[in-house]
């Protein structure tokens, strides 16, 4: 492959713009690191390409950022692409809704960055746009699941406290009750089993209720938009 031209000359020579685009297209479809390096090295030249060529290169670069785990940069590029798509009124690209595709990938990057409230906001927009699509709804449920409410943290704390108390009872049973107070051995065993069971029960019930609540929230939100029953602020 020939060496791409200096970006500073691309604005002047159409032949060089064609050469730059051809060299970009020559990169392997799965050479994500190569795409990132090329785009960032020759960004000024790529910006000088015809709009469709520029958009194609920028979409490939944005996808490469996601695939290489550069999620912070990916979110920034998604915002830029969304602005371009809206301003140019682009509905489809490559046979798919490009706006939804970019928006979904943005939500995925925010999720990887553990910015769950922002990811939730984007996913709610996607559900609003296409409530019949189950993928954003399932992703919204997953995003909600990773946001731990205060009450859930309290149930986890209670589980830890009960487990520690059970451990204390077991230690007491082994070192004091068993050698010196054998008559109390059975009650102590019942007590530590009860404490362990209570701790596990609190944990399981809390996690299960949280998962059910997230599933119900995502499903209800999608259903309200699908049926046209959504109330703003709900």
Mean pLDDT across 80-85: 95
Counts for the chain of helices (H) and strands (E), in that order: 11, 2
In this structure, the answer to whether residues 90 and 199 fall within a common structural domain is no
Same domain, 22 and 125: yes
User: pLDDT value at position 13?
Assistant: 61
- Tokens 């979409």 -> residue: 59
- Hunting for tokens 């944005």 — which residue is that? 62
pLDDT exceeds 60 at position 229 = no
Stronger pLDDT, 7 or 33, i.e. the higher one: 33
Query: pLDDT value at position 111?
Result: 96
* Residues 19-45 pLDDT 10s: 898 999 999 878 999 999 999 999 989
- Write out the residue range of the structural domain in which residue 208 sits: 150-226
Tell me the pLDDT tens digit for each residue of 185-199: 788 888 888 888 888
* Structural domain contains residue 202: yes
| Total domain count, the chain | 2
94 belongs to a structural domain:
yes
| Average pLDDT of the segment spanning 197-206 | 89
Q: Which of 55, 48, 59 is nearest to 4 (CA)?
A: 48
Asked, for residue 134, whether it belongs to a domain, the answer is yes
The structure's pTM equals: 0.81
Mean pLDDT, residues 146-171 taken together: 87
Return d(Cα 87, Cα 65) in angstroms, integer: 23
On whether both 87 and 131 belong to a single domain, the answer is yes
Q: What is the CATH number of the domain that holds 126?
A: 1.25.40.10
Of 145, 163, 192, at which residue does a domain stop?
A: 145
172, with CB counted inside 10 A (0-12, 13-18, 19+), is middle
């Amino acid at each position: 492959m020939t060496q791409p031209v200096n970006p500073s000359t691309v604005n002047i020579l159409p032949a060089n713009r064609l050469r730059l685009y051809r060299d970009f297209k020559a990169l392997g479809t799965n050479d994500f690191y190569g795409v990132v390096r090329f785009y960032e090295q020759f960004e000024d030249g790529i910006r000088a390409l015809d709009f469709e060529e520029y958009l194609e290169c920028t979409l490939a670069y944005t996808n490469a950022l996601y695939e290489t785990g550069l999620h912070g940069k990916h979110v920034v590029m998604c915002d830029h692409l969304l602005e371009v798509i809206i301003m140019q009124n682009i509905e489809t690209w490559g046979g798919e809704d490009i706006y939804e595709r970019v928006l979904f990938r943005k939500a995925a990057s925010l999720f990887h960055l553990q910015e769950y409230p922002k990811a939730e906001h984007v996913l709610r927009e996607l559900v609003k746009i296409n409530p019949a699509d189950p993928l954003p709804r399932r992703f919204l449920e997953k995003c909600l699941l990773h946001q731990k409410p205060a009450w859930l943290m309290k149930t986890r704390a209670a589980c830890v406290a009960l487990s520690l108390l059970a451990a204390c009872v077991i230690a007491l049973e082994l070192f004091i009750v068993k050698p010196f107070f054998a008559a109390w051995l059975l009650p102590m065993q019942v007590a530590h089993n009860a404490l362990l069971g209570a701790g596990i029960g609190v944990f399981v019930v809390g996690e299960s209720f949280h998962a059910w609540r997230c599933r119900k929230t995502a499903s209800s939100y999608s259903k309200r938009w699908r049926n046209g029953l959504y109330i703003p602020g709900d």
